[in-house]
Amino acid sequence: MAKPEVPESLPGALDPRLPLRSVLVGGAAGLVGGSYRLLLDQIHGWDLRLLAASERILLGWLAVAGLFAAAAGLARWLTLRGAPEAAGSGIPQVEEALAGDARLPRWHRLLPIKFVAGGLALSGGLSLGREGPTVHLGAAVASGLQRGLGRAARGAILAAGAGAGLTAAFSAPISGFVFVLEELRVAPSRPMVVTALPAVLVSYLVTTAFLGRQPLFPLPSVPTPSVALLPVFVGLGLAAGVVGVVFNRGLLWTLDAFDALPLRPSWLSAAAVGIAAAAVGIWLPAALGSGEHTTAAIIQDRLPLALGGLVMLLGTKLALTLASYGCGVPGGIFAPQLVLGATLGGMAHALAPHLGGGMLLPVLATAGMAGVFAASIRAPLTGLVLVVELTHQGHFLLAQATAALAAYLLAAALRDPPVYHALRERDARRAVSAD
C-alpha cells in the first residue's frame, strides 16, 4: 500500500526530508548524467575514427552509411517501443510535469530508454546535444525519489533533478540553478532553494570527480574588448537573433514534415537521417554530433575554414540539427546551438580579421553562442552564466550580454515564441487531435 502524502498545510513549512533527498537526487543525476556524457564523448571519437578509416577502404562510405542508418533507426524504434516520451530533448516534458502534478509517471522506463537510445542516435552521427537528455534523466531520477511527498515538495525535487541534470551535462552548477529559475520558472522559495542548490552542487562534485574540472572551452589569453566595439556585438546579436528565429521555426516545420512523411515504419525516417549524416561526415565532419569539439576549435582558432567554409558549416549544421531532432530520437539542442553561435562569431571575425587587433575571435564566438541561445530559448541569463562556466572566464561578459540582449529583443520583436514553449503547445495540440 502506498504511503500517504505528507500534508503541506502550514504556510512556509519545510519538509525536513527535502534537503536529504536533494543530495540523493544530485548524486544520482551526476552519476547518470556524467556517465551519459562520458559515453557520448567516446561515441564521437569512434565516429570520427570510423569516418577516417572509411576513406582507406573500398566502398567504405557505404559501410559507414549502413552503420549510421542502423544506429539512428534503432534509436527511433527503441524510443517508440519503450518510451515515446523519451523523444527529443525532454525539457518540454519536464516543464509540463511541473505545471501538472510534478511527476514523470513512467520514469523507470524513461531512464534506460533515454540513455540507450540517445547514445545510439549520437552513434548514428546525428546532430544533437546531451543537455536536454541529461535534464530529462535528472528529472526521471528525481521522480524515483518523490515517494510520500506532497505536490509542492514533488515539484521542488523534480526541478532540482532537472537542474542537476543540466549541471552534469556541462559541469555548470550555477547554470543548473539559474535554469530552474529562468527556464523552468520555479519561483524562489525555501523548498526550492534547499533542494535545487544542494542538488546542483552535489551533481557537480560527482560529475567532476570522474570527468575533471577543466573548462569545456578553454580560452586563449585575450584582453577585454574596448567599449567602442560594442556596436559590433549589437550587429552580431542581431545576426544571432535571426539564426535563433530560423532555428525555432525550422524545428517546428521539420517536426510537422516528418509527421507527414508516408514512410512506415517511422524508424525508416531516422535511418534516412543517419545516411545523410554519413554523407555530411565524409564532406564536413565538423557538422556531426553535438559539436562541442567544433565549438572549441572555433574559439581557439583551430578550425581551418575560411569565410565560405564557415557559411557552409552554419547552413549544414542547422539543417542536420533540424532533421536529427525532427526524426524523433532522443537528443537536445543546446550544444548544436552553441556551434551555430560560435560559427557566427567566426564569420564576423573572418569579415574583419584585424578588428580589435586580431584578438577578438574568442569574444565574438562566445558572444554568438550567448546570442543564439537567448534568441531561441529566451533564457538570456542562463545562456550568459553557461558561457562563463563553460570557459571559466567572465571578463567578456559585457560583450556577451550586449549580443544576447540584441538577439533576445529581435526574436521578441518578430513574435517568435521560445522554442520549448512552442514545443509544449505543439504537443498539446497533437494530444487534443489524438483524442
Q: Whole-structure pTM over 0.85, yes or no?
A: yes
- pLDDT recorded at residue 13: 55
Euclidean distance between CA atoms 403 and 228, whole angstroms: 14
- pLDDT recorded at residue 15: 72
Top CATH class of 18-211 equals mainly alpha
- pLDDT recorded at residue 49: 82
Domain ranges within the chain, ordered by starting residue? 18-211, 227-430
- Three cell numbers written together for 291: 559539436
- pLDDT recorded at residue 6: 42
At the topology level, CATH places domain 227-430 in Clc chloride channel (1.10.3080)
Euclidean distance between CA atoms 129 and 170, whole angstroms: 11
State residue 242 phi and psi, 5-degree precision: -60, -45
Euclidean distance between CA atoms 360 and 346, whole angstroms: 10
Please give the C-alpha separations between residue 203 and each of 28, 29, 42, 159, 165, in angstroms, as whole numbers: 8, 6, 21, 14, 8
The pLDDT profile of the chain, 435 residues, written as one tens digit per residue, is: 444 444 443 334 567 778 899 999 999 999 999 999 999 988 888 888 888 787 777 677 788 899 999 999 999 999 999 999 999 999 999 999 999 989 898 999 999 999 999 999 999 999 999 999 999 999 999 999 998 888 888 999 999 999 999 999 999 999 999 999 999 988 888 888 899 999 999 999 999 998 999 999 999 888 899 999 999 999 999 999 999 999 999 999 999 999 998 878 889 999 999 999 999 998 899 999 999 999 999 999 999 889 999 999 999 999 999 999 999 999 999 999 999 999 999 999 999 888 877 789 999 999 999 999 999 999 999 999 999 999 999 999 999 999 999 999 999 999 999 999 999 999 888 877 766
- Three cell numbers written together for 11: 504556510
The whole-angstrom distance between residue 396's C-alpha and the CA centroid of its chain comes to 22
**Contact by Cβ (8 Å): 404, 383:** yes
- Three cell numbers written together for 23: 543530495
The reply to whether domains 18-211 and 227-430 share a CATH topology is yes
Crossing angle of the two packed helices 60-82 and 18-54, in degrees rounded to 10: 150
Peptide bond into 265 cis (omega under 30): yes
Cα dihedral: 316, 264, 115, 423 (round 10): 60
Peptide bond into 330 cis (omega under 30): no
